[in-house]
Each structure stands twice: as C-alpha cells, then as structure tokens.
Amino acid sequence: MRRYTFLLALLFVVACKNTKKGKMISNENTSTNEVIVTGEHHPGKKILETECYICHSPKVSKESRIAPPMVAIKEHYIHENTTKDEFTEALIAWVNDPEQETKMPGAQRKFGKMPYIPYPDDALAQIAEYIYEYEMTPPEWYYTKHDVGEISANHKNTQFQDLSEKGSAMGMEYAKAAKQALGESLLKAIQEKGPTGAVEFCNMKAISLTDSVSVMNNAVIKRVSDKPRNVDNAANEEELGYIAYYKKLITAEIEPKPIVKTEGEEVDFYFPITTNMMCLQCHGEPQKQIRPETLTMLRKLYPNDRATGYQENEVRGLWAISFDIE
C-alpha cells in the first residue's frame, strides 16, 4: 500500500507539472507539421512510457502489478464499432471523473478505484490517439481477446482448453484454501465442544470465514446447496442443475471434474462438495448419526434446516467460485 501511495503521489506531481505548463508533453525533435507514420515517435507513446506505465507497465510481473495493463484497458473500451472520437471522449471523461461507473469492474475490485489525477485534456487526447491507432504490447502472462479471436480453427479448441485448464487449476486452489480454512476451524470446534461447537461455529463464522478467503484471493467463493441449512447458501436454478449432474456422477462412481465457464477474463468455477464421516455428525440421520443435543442446537439455530439425512460420499452442494483470469 505504501508503494502504491508513493506511485500515485509521483503521478500527481508529474501531472500537476504538465498542467502548469498548459500544454501536452511532446517530442521536441518532432515538428508540429510532421506526419507521424509509425507509433514509435507518437507523442502519446512517450506520455504512456514516462507517466502511465508507472502503474500500467506491460513489463511488470502478474504478481507485482498494481493496476491493469493498458492492453486490457484498450480491450474493454474499444470495440468493433467504437470510433476514435468516442474512445477519446470516454478516456478523458474517465480520467477526469474516475468515480463514474467503470467498464472494468474486475480490475476495480482487485486494485481499487483509480484516483483523480489532473492531466490536461490535450495530453489525454494524444494518449487516446496512440492507444486507438496502434497495437499495445501485452505482458507475457496476458491473454488478449485478439489472441483468442485470431486462433485458427485447428488450434481454437486447444487454446480454449488452455484457458479452461488454467481456470480449473485456479478454481481448485481457491476451493482447497476455503475447504482447509473451514475444516481446520470445524475440527477445532469439535475437539473443544463436540458437534454442537461445530454447529455454533457454522452459524456465526462459516460465511465470514469463506468471505475472508475470497478477499485474500480476489475471488467470490460461495458454498451452495439444494438442501441448505442457512438460506444464504441456497443454490440458484443454474447451480441446482450442476448439483443434479454431480449426483449422477457420484452415484455412478465416476470421478467428478470441475465445471469451468469463461467469458473474456471472467471465470465461473463449480465443483461438488461431498460428505465424509465427520460431516455426518451434523448432516447425517437425526437420532442416528446426529446426537440429540446436536439436533436440539440445530433446531434452535436453523428452524428451517434441510441439510440432514445424508450418507457418506453424497453430494451436499457446490463450490461456486467467480474470479478473473488475466
């Protein structure tokens, strides 16, 4: 955070300096009448490199970035029918008022809102022209929409498989992290107070613990079920279909694979939650696997509880995880 604050302060100072000059930054060796035939000598490129790339550099590693790369900004703001004037107007409006609704909500969740920096409009126009007219260099780790769109028919399935595999691997990591955090806390509660302690923990802290794992991983991690104990964990119509699908796989003793849906850099990941012997202390057969005192606590805290009657290795719900893959 200190590093980010320092960089923003540096940007502010540079921008103010340019504003006081009352003119855009330009190449002193370039005549105002000279026709720029390549992007190499475009004044907008110089502004990007000396100022914007402090935060938006294409050379920074994925782990060290503090803002999205410029190629991502171009992809979100320039579409097939977007004119240069429309893009220029949108860029100037955004920099002058970064509190307005963003076209990059995933980046805003990850890095926070861009602060207001008083760049002169003519400098912003030069930046916009360069971004619009010339290809932006993507970081090595970044998949551009152009990359995906230009893949030949023979390699298209392979490319999307790569994206899907990456999303699957990341989703499994997030699910395992959340499962481990919940499992360790539940085990501790059971050791200290028995199954009733686990019920109390789930009632008070399970969702907040999952939320904290979500924040640490810049993801939205949920546990959903067709037979929820807490109404906040109820599956929607789409998720109910996935639960039914996984129940058929588990019954047929087929190893389940994650369901991964990608749209651009946005990923929706689904994977089943199955029961084990420890789960049955709170989710098994009442009066049989669930002790009377535990059942009393469940009825007190969850009067509309539907999450009982399970046997070992049955699908109790899903991990439903949303995140960005860049």
DSSP assignment of 132-172:
HHSPPPPPTT---HHHHHT--HHHHHHHHHHHHHHHHHHHH
Average pLDDT over residues 245-249: 93
Token digits for 6?
């320092």
d(CA 50, CA 16): 14
**Residues pairing with 224 in the sheet:** 318
Confidence class for position 45, pLDDT limits 50, 70, 90: confident
Q: pLDDT tens digit string along 48-61?
A: 888 888 788 888 77
**Can you tell me whether residue 251 is helix, strand or coil?**
helix
The whole-number pLDDT of residue 149 equals 45
User: Strand pairing of 219-224 and 259-263?
Assistant: unpaired
Q: What is the pLDDT of residue 143?
A: 59
Give the pLDDT confidence score for residue 318 in this predicted structure.
Answer: 95
Please state, in angstroms and rounded to a whole number, the distance separating the CA atoms of residues 167 and 45. Answer: 33
Is pTM, for the whole model, over 0.85?
Answer: no
Q: Which residue has the higher pLDDT, 98 or 326?
A: 98
Average pLDDT over residues 68-82: 85
Per the CB < 8 A criterion, the answer to whether 145 and 264 are in contact is yes
Q: Among 13-17, 126-130, 277-281, which stretch is predicted with the lowest mean pLDDT?
A: 13-17
pLDDT score of 114? 80
For residues 247 and 310, the answer to whether their CB atoms sit within 8 Å is no
Render the burial of 230-254: b for 16+ CB within 10 Å, e for the rest: beebbbeeebeebbeebbeeeeeee
Count H helices and E strands in the chain, helices first.
Answer: 13, 4
Predicted local confidence at residue 39, as pLDDT: 76
Kindly list the domain boundaries of the chain, sorted by start residue.
2-142, 153-324
Helix, strand or coil for residue 323?
A: strand
12 pLDDT higher than 50: no
Instruction: Note whether 103 and 77 are within 8 A (CB).
Output: yes
Give the pairing of strands 266-274 and 219-224: unpaired
Contact 44, 126 (CB under 8 A): yes
